[in-house]
């Protein structure tokens, strides 16, 4: 591609617009699901937490499978195109299910959305990375951060507005809007399909056999049925998710044994980072489960004393801060580079865990400031999200870039899925643990319950984050040594190749 050396190639800019539309559609639906299941479908708090945890986990855990299919069978662009078509149908079906309060139809719609996420989640990063030249990797890393920030802009707008729009459009109207936004992405993909094919892998540039398509259709049907089973049988489904995650990690270990010696060292770094990802994203999972339920039960409806807000819109604070802080984080990195200090990805995770510890300590402290109306100020949740979002922004986009650079290209989509598996496993663990603070319906929130259930839970999470900051600091030194060794071996192999040519 002619502009592959630009700071933002045209393909990358189109993908950034796609990210905005996807963020608005997906997270706009996500923000409504908690109260939709609690109020409209009459689920208990514990079952709602598990449903939301599974919804957040299913797509990422299956994304490794989707990445594998994209790498080996249908191509990265085709996987995105098909996945986004499934998103469009899934959101529309969810709207139909909501209009009839049909639980099986609603679960099927969520399963279809989970399938779509699993198939397509890893491939936009591959297309994004391939739109940059091999000598333009610094711009690629910056582009990822911008892409991440734009995603959060779309997410914030929909998460703030959709709960207000329920009063006018009901739940189904909002779900139909999400379907329309995904339809717009399909228009983008069709219009610029030649560019996306160029940015895809080799499979995108050649036709797919009927045999492969038949296998893909059968496999998709099996996967969709499996996802539906998980949502319809949450207690058994969580163990299935654990098993799938372990299988994906074991397959990556198998690929380490087949890689060149240099890549073995680098891929071992990825394996260590997967552990760190899992613990960090456990906290991200808390934001959508325990913190969300806490805010819905106790958060007031005024922000900064004059901005109206729905309690379920508390999750909008996360993308708001991520968008606001995106530019300053890039400026901070540039400033550190000019000062000759370039922190590694693991070192950034150390800082992220420190910020996470502050966030959950503040959350625990907020339980001591319940007002006469039985609510805490929304400002507490806003500032908790500031620290947690800052932590997420430090590592969120760059973690994907780190893995992309550490693995062979033939494993790029699968490896993006491996990162998503870490997100998935940590998300379902977060949901399971969060059920410990689930309360029976119509439970009166007394000071004793708030202190005994919420405060102790959040303070314990803050202590764990401090412990993980120390552990990650030790692991960062191990990772640095492995990367140095891998680079040394690459240089030796390159020297041997040159000598052989002569």
pLDDT, tens digit, for every residue of 229-281?
Answer: 888 887 787 787 788 778 878 888 888 888 777 777 777 888 888 888 888 88
Tokens for 396? 């969120």
Going by C-alpha positions, the residue among 269, 202, 238, 232 that lies closest to residue 419 is: 269
Superfamily of 10-501 according to CATH: MFS general substrate transporter like domains (1.20.1250.20)
Is pLDDT of 222 > 60? Answer: yes
> What is the structure's pLDDT at 102?
92
- For the chain, the average pLDDT equals 82
Which residues neighbour 4 within 8 Å (Cβ) at sequence distance 6 or greater? 131, 132, 133, 136
pTM of the predicted protein model: 0.76
Vertex 238: Cα angle to 312 and 252 (nearest 5)? 110
Predicted confidence band of residue 396 (pLDDT cuts 50, 70, 90): low
Predicted confidence band of residue 334 (pLDDT cuts 50, 70, 90): confident
> What is the structure's pLDDT at 502?
52
Is pLDDT of 369 > 80? Answer: yes
Summarize the confidence of residues 208-222 as an average pLDDT.
91
Is pLDDT of 163 > 60? Answer: yes
Predicted confidence band of residue 26 (pLDDT cuts 50, 70, 90): very high
> What is the structure's pLDDT at 397?
55
By residue count, the chain amounts to: 502
Lowest mean pLDDT of 53-57, 173-177, 218-222, name the range. 53-57
C-alpha–C-alpha distance, residues 479 and 456, integer Å:
34
Name the residue with higher pLDDT: 393 or 81: 81
> What is the structure's pLDDT at 271?
81
Name the residue with higher pLDDT: 1 or 362: 362
Element (H, E) at 307: strand 307-308
Summarize the confidence of residues 140-154 as an average pLDDT.
76
C-alpha–C-alpha distance, residues 27 and 342, integer Å:
33
Predicted confidence band of residue 7 (pLDDT cuts 50, 70, 90): low
> What is the structure's pLDDT at 493?
62
> What is the structure's pLDDT at 199?
78
Q: Name residue, tokens 């996987």.
A: 79
C-alpha–C-alpha distance, residues 409 and 413, integer Å:
8
> What is the structure's pLDDT at 177?
94
pLDDT, tens digit, for every residue of 490-502?
Answer: 677 666 555 555 5
pLDDT, tens digit, for every residue of 106-142?
Answer: 999 998 998 898 888 878 877 777 777 766 666 776 7
Return the DSSP state at 315: G
C-alpha–C-alpha distance, residues 223 and 111, integer Å:
9
Element (H, E) at 78: helix 76-100
Name the residue with higher pLDDT: 334 or 97: 97
Summarize the confidence of residues 218-236 as an average pLDDT.
86
* Domain residue limits, the chain: 10-501
Note whether 33 and 164 are within 8 A (CB).
no
CA distances from 464 to 134, 160, 388, 476, 488 (A): 39, 31, 14, 18, 36
Return the DSSP state at 208: P
C-alpha–C-alpha distance, residues 63 and 360, integer Å:
29
Which residues neighbour 359 within 8 Å (Cβ) at sequence distance 6 or greater? 283, 384, 385, 386, 387, 388, 391, 462
> What is the structure's pLDDT at 399?
62
DSSP, residue by residue, 212-245: HHHHHHHHHHHHHHHHHHHHHSHHHHHHHHHHHH
C-alpha–C-alpha distance, residues 10 and 195, integer Å:
9
pLDDT, tens digit, for every residue of 54-105?
Answer: 887 777 777 777 888 888 888 888 888 999 999 999 999 999 999 999 999 9
Predicted confidence band of residue 417 (pLDDT cuts 50, 70, 90): low
Lowest mean pLDDT of 237-241, 395-399, 409-413, 462-466, name the range. 395-399
Name the residue with higher pLDDT: 87 or 427: 87
> What is the structure's pLDDT at 86?
93
Is pLDDT of 415 > 90? Answer: no
Is pLDDT of 336 > 80? Answer: no
> What is the structure's pLDDT at 358?
94
């Amino acid at each position: 591609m002619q502009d592959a050396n630009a700071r933002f190639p045209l393909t990358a800019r189109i993908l950034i617009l796609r990210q905005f539309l996807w963020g608005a559609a997906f997270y706009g639906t996500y923000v409504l699901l908690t109260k939709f299941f609690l109020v409209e479908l009459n689920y208990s708090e514990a079952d709602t937490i598990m449903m939301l945890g599974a919804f957040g986990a299913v797509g990422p855990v299956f994304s490794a499978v989707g990445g594998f299919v994209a790498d080996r069978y249908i191509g990265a662009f085709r996987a995105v195109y098909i996945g986004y078509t499934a998103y469009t149908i899934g959101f529309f079906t969810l709207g139909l299910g909501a209009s009839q309060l049909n639980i099986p139809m609603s679960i099927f719609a969520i399963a279809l959305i989970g399938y779509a996420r699993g198939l397509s989640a890893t491939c936009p990063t591959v297309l994004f990375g391939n739109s940059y030249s091999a000598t333009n990797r610094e711009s690629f890393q910056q582009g990822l951060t911008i892409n991440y920030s734009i995603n959060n802009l779309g997410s914030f707008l929909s998460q703030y507005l959709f709960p207000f729009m329920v009063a006018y459009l009901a739940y189904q109207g909002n779900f139909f809007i999400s379907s329309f936004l995904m339809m717009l992405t399909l228009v983008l993909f069709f219009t610029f399909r030649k560019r996306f094919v160029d940015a895809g892998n080799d499979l995108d540039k050649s036709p797919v056999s009927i045999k492969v398509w038949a296998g893909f259709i059968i496999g998709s049907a099996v996967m969709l049925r499996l996802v539906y089973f998980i949502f319809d049988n949450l207690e058994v489904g969580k163990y299935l998710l654990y098993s799938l995650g372990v299988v994906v990690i074991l397959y990556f270990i198998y690929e380490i044994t087949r890689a060149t010696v240099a890549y073995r060292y680098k891929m071992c770094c990825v394996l260590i980072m997967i552990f760190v990802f899992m613990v960090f994203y456990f906290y991200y999972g808390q934001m959508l489960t325990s913190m969300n339920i806490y805010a819905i039960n106790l958060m007031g409806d005024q922000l900064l004393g004059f901005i109206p807000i729905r309690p379920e819109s508390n999750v909008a604070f996360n993308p708001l801060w991520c968008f606001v802080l995106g530019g300053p984080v890039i400026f901070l990195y540039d400033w550190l580079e000019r000062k000759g200090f370039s922190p590694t990805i693991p070192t950034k995770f150390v800082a992220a865990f420190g910020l996470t510890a502050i966030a959950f300590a503040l959350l625990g402290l907020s339980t001591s400031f319940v007002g006469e109306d039985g609510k805490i100020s929304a400002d507490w949740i806003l500032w908790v999200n500031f620290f947690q979002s800052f932590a997420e922004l430090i590592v969120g986009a760059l973690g994907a870039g780190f893995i992309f650079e550490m693995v062979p290209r033939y494993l790029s989509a699968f490896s993006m899925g491996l990162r998503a598996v870490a997100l998935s496993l940590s998300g379902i663990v977060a949901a399971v643990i969060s059920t410990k603070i689930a309360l029976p319906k119509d439970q009166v929130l007394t000071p004793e319950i708030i202190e005994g259930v919420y405060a102790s839970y959040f303070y314990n999470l803050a202590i764990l984050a401090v412990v993980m900051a120390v552990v990650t600091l030790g692991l960062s030194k191990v990772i640095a040594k492995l990367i140095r060794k891998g680079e040394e071996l690459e240089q030796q192999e390159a020297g041997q190749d040159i000598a052989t040519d002569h």
